[in-house]
Structure 1
C-alpha cells in the first residue's frame, strides 16, 4: 500500500522534476511540500506545480 501511494504522489512529482526541471535543478522542493501538506493543502496539481523546480 505504501509503495503504491508513494508512486502516485512524491515519486511522480520527483520524476516530473527530473524530466522537466532545468539542468542544474531537478529536485522538488520537499520543504515546501511538507509545509503545504501540514497546512492542509490537498495533494493536487496546484501543489505539484508549486513544488516543481522552475
Structure 2
C-alpha cells in the first residue's frame, strides 16, 4: 500500500525534494505518533517535514 501511494504521488514528492534541496533545507518524516498525547496504536500516515 505504501509503494502504491508513493507511485501515485511520485511527481509531487520529487518536487518537494527539489525545492527543499534548492533552499538548502533537510527533509524528514514526522510520524503521527510523535505527538505526546498519541499512542503508537493511533498512528496515522507520517507527515512530511521540511526543516
Compute the TM-score of the two structures, normalised by the length of structure 1. Answer: 0.40
Q: Which has the larger radius of gyration?
A: 2
Bigger helix share: 1
Q: Greater RCO between the two (CA within 8 Å, min separation 6)?
A: 1
Bigger strand share: 2
Compute the TM-score of the two structures, normalised by the length of structure 2. Answer: 0.41
